[in-house]
């Protein structure tokens, strides 16, 4: 299965697992990765970078009780792997045992149909897509557009996972993404507009999202932001449009439902299974089995088949996201959320595609129901303190709502709130659903995720704006 690397024989994997557990331990696994990728970037109308790379390596882990030892290496020879296995075996505690495992290949529950594999597409074609986006952004924005940055990336990650329980998994993840950032300037005001698309697929991504259209959205937003007023500050009703994507559900509840944080007492959702933790209009699901989605996978990075996990159902907390270590501690099976950035990292509970399920309310009616508030059409990055549930995120595109009508655009708004409080304050849930993609960081590991939500009305959130930061009524910006 590995192009440039010799196939690792099952017997070698068995021997390495046996060596890893030779000094004891309850569980051992090996994660072998061969990742090939291409990155292209364009700035100032020039193709600045065309990078390709190959990263191969293996991570070996032994768990004994609640203790994990982990080693990784780029040396995939029997000698290299055995050396890494011996390192972890010395760190393991317990009684020596002879391990005789029979590796059985697991079949995936979902099959992702990749139509245009990145390695079958010529570099020129990828470069052409980047150039097309660059031109489109400039044309869309006219003279106001000062800078356009376009980034393309594809990755083919092939993994082999084997463990002491006899599971053997081969999996391939293919992801493609395109990012366009446009900088607009006028009268000493500089604003940026960013748009990113990506999926668990190959070059067919651009059949769904035309590079020129992606670029146009980014450029349009940057230009509109020039004319936007500074956002107001204070507590106010907020409507989040479906197209705003799921940053809030990701931050406000997703992280707090990762089992490691729950078990360490670092989540506001700890010990609350069966409790009402949100408005009864709220159902939250993490589904890594969805076709095409950026956070999809058929097996997680511990070789567990992906699943659809209902986290909150009609406001009641139902489940957490587990990997093997945390599921063992809770005396249950993993629900397929053990993910890692690469062979260099131990798996930890992570999200895949997290979303708030659509409700019954008409999105337009939701906006009409707000007398004075903020409409969030695009969210930016965010951050959460899972222990308290406090979160903050950036509003990349926001509008005032006045008497049920969408008013002028505002810039510089951030939403500060508390996950459980905000979810309890959801008053209406729309029948639509909009996704955004991103790279989620936790313990220094970045993994691809997507998240989504329908249009929702929230009774009140603290909006931190820049409106009051106006010395003598004059706005100072560079």
| Residues 6 or more apart whose Cβ sits within 8 Å of residue 370 | 237, 239, 401, 404, 457
Q: Is 70 in the site for other proteins (CB under 8 A)?
A: yes
User: In what helix (H) or strand (E) does residue 11 lie, and over which residues does it extend?
Assistant: helix 10-20
Out of 108, 147, 229, 276, name the contact with other proteins by CB under 8 A.
Answer: 147
As beta bridge partners, residue 107 has: none
Residues in the chain, total: 478
Q: Which of residues 99-128 bind other proteins (CB under 8 A)?
A: 123-124, 127
Q: Which of residues 373-392 bind other proteins (CB under 8 A)?
A: 380-383, 385, 387-388, 390-392
- Give the nearer residue to other proteins in terms of CB position, either 72 or 297: 72
Least distance to other proteins, CB of residue 412, Å: 5
Q: Is 43 in the site for other proteins (CB under 8 A)?
A: yes
SS3 labels along 199-210: ECCCCCHHHHCC
**CA 118/CA 201 separation, integer angstroms:** 9
Least distance to other proteins, CB of residue 363, Å: 26
Question: Can you say whether residue 339 is alpha, beta or left, with left for phi > 0 and alpha for psi between -120 and 50 degrees?
Answer: beta
Q: Is 74 in the site for other proteins (CB under 8 A)?
A: yes
| Residues 6 or more apart whose Cβ sits within 8 Å of residue 137 | 145, 148, 150, 180, 182, 215, 216, 218, 219
Out of 234, 271, 408, 446, name the contact with other proteins by CB under 8 A.
Answer: 234
Q: Is 224 in the site for other proteins (CB under 8 A)?
A: no
C-alpha distances in angstroms, 214 versus 138, 146, 277, 379? 12, 18, 37, 16
DSSP tag of 431: S
Kindly state the tokens that stand for 442.
């936790």
Q: Do 376 and 241 form a contact (C-beta atoms < 8 A)?
A: yes
Q: Which of residues 184-223 bind other proteins (CB under 8 A)?
A: 189-192
Least distance to other proteins, CB of residue 235, Å: 7
For other proteins (CB under 8 A), the number of binding residues is: 77
| Residue 395 CA, distance from chain mean position | 18
Out of 15, 24, 26, 68, name the contact with other proteins by CB under 8 A.
Answer: 68
Q: Which of residues 166-185 bind other proteins (CB under 8 A)?
A: 183
Out of 468, 472, 473, 474, name the contact with other proteins by CB under 8 A.
Answer: 468
User: In what helix (H) or strand (E) does residue 16 lie, and over which residues does it extend?
Assistant: helix 10-20
- Give the nearer residue to other proteins in terms of CB position, either 54 or 314: 54
C-alpha distances in angstroms, 12 versus 15, 295, 344? 5, 31, 20
Judged by CB under 8 A, which stretch of 10-18, 38-46, 97-105, 201-209 contacts other proteins?
A: 38-46
As beta bridge partners, residue 195 has: 180
Q: Which of residues 283-342 bind other proteins (CB under 8 A)?
A: none
Judged by CB under 8 A, which stretch of 105-113, 302-310, 312-320, 458-466 contacts other proteins?
A: 458-466
Judged by CB under 8 A, which stretch of 15-23, 87-95, 330-338, 360-368 contacts other proteins?
A: 87-95
Q: Which of residues 390-409 bind other proteins (CB under 8 A)?
A: 390-394
Residue labelled with tokens 């292209």: 40
**CA 413/CA 375 separation, integer angstroms:** 11
Out of 10, 24, 26, 67, name the contact with other proteins by CB under 8 A.
Answer: 67
DSSP tag of 301: T
Least distance to other proteins, CB of residue 388, Å: 6
Q: Is 160 in the site for other proteins (CB under 8 A)?
A: no
Judged by CB under 8 A, which stretch of 15-23, 64-72, 197-205, 307-315 contacts other proteins?
A: 64-72
Q: Which of residues 245-264 bind other proteins (CB under 8 A)?
A: 264
Closest of 244, 249, 286 to residue 374, by C-alpha = 244
Least distance to other proteins, CB of residue 110, Å: 30
Residue labelled with tokens 């940055």: 149
Judged by CB under 8 A, which stretch of 81-89, 101-109, 164-172, 207-215 contacts other proteins?
A: 81-89
**CA 388/CA 385 separation, integer angstroms:** 6
Out of 13, 30, 88, 366, name the contact with other proteins by CB under 8 A.
Answer: 88
Least distance to other proteins, CB of residue 162, Å: 20
Out of 176, 414, 425, 455, name the contact with other proteins by CB under 8 A.
Answer: 414
Note the helical H segments in 271-397: 324-329, 363-368
Terminal Cα distance for the chain, rounded: 54
Question: Residue 415, Cβ neighbours under 10 Å: how many?
Answer: 26
Out of 235, 332, 333, 360, name the contact with other proteins by CB under 8 A.
Answer: 235
Q: Is 69 in the site for other proteins (CB under 8 A)?
A: yes
Q: Which of residues 44-63 bind other proteins (CB under 8 A)?
A: 44, 46-57
Out of 58, 71, 150, 161, name the contact with other proteins by CB under 8 A.
Answer: 71
Q: Is 423 in the site for other proteins (CB under 8 A)?
A: no
Least distance to other proteins, CB of residue 234, Å: 7
């Amino acid at each position: 299965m590995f192009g440039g690397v010799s196939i690792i024989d099952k017997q070698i994997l068995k021997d390495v697992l046996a060596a890893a557990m030779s000094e004891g331990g309850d569980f051992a696994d090996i994660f072998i990765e061969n990742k090939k990728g291409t990155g292209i970037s364009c700035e100032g109308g020039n193709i600045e970078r065309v990078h390709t790379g190959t990263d191969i390596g293996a991570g070996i882990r032994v768990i004994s009780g609640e203790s994990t030892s982990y080693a990784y290496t780029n040396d995939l020879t029997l000698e290299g792997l055995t050396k890494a296995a011996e390192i972890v075996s010395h760190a393991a505690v317990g009684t020596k045992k002879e391990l005789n495992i029979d590796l059985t290949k697991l079949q995936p529950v979902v099959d992702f149909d990749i139509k245009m594999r990145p390695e079958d597409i010529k570099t020129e074609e990828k470069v052409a897509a980047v150039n097309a986006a660059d031109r489109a952004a400039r044309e869309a924005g006219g003279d106001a557009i000062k800078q356009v940055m376009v980034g393309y990336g594809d990755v083919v990650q092939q993994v082999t996972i084997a463990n002491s329980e006899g599971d053997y998994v081969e999996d391939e993840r293919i992801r493609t993404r395109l990012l366009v950032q446009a900088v607009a300037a006028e009268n000493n005001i500089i604003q940026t507009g960013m748009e990113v698309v990506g999926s668990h697929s190959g070059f067919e991504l651009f059949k769904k999202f035309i590079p020129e259209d992606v670029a146009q959205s980014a450029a349009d937003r940057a230009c509109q932001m020039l004319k936007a007023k500074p956002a107001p500050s204070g507590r106010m009703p907020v409507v989040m449009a479906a197209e705003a994507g799921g940053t809030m559900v990701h931050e406000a509840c997703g992280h707090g439902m990762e089992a490691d944080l729950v078990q360490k007492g670092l989540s506001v959702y700890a010990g609350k299974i069966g409790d009402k933790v949100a408005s009864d209009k709220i159902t939250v699901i993490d589904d890594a089995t969805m076709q095409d989605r950026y956070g999809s996978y058929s097996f997680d990075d511990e070789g567990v088949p992906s699943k659809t996990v209902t986290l909150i159902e009609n406001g009641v907390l139902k489940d957490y996201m587990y990997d093997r270590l945390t599921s063992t501690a809770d005396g249950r099976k993993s629900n397929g959320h053990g993910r890692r950035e690469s062979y260099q990292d131990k798996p930890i509970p992570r999200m895949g595609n997290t979303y708030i399920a659509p409700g019954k309310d008409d999105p337009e009616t939701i906006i009409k129901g707000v007398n004075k508030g903020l409409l969030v059409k695009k969210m930016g990055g965010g951050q959460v303190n899972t222990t308290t549930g406090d979160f903050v995120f950036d509003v990349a595109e926001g509008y005032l709502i006045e008497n049920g009508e969408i008013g002028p655009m505002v810039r510089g708004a951030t939403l500060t709130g508390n996950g459980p409080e905000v979810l309890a304050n959801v008053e209406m849930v729309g029948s639509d659903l909009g996704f955004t993609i991103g790279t989620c960081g936790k313990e220094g590991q970045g993994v691809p995720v997507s998240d989504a939500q329908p249009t929702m009305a929230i009774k009140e959130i603290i909006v931190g704006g820049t409106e009051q930061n106006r010395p003598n009524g004059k706005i100072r910006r560079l």
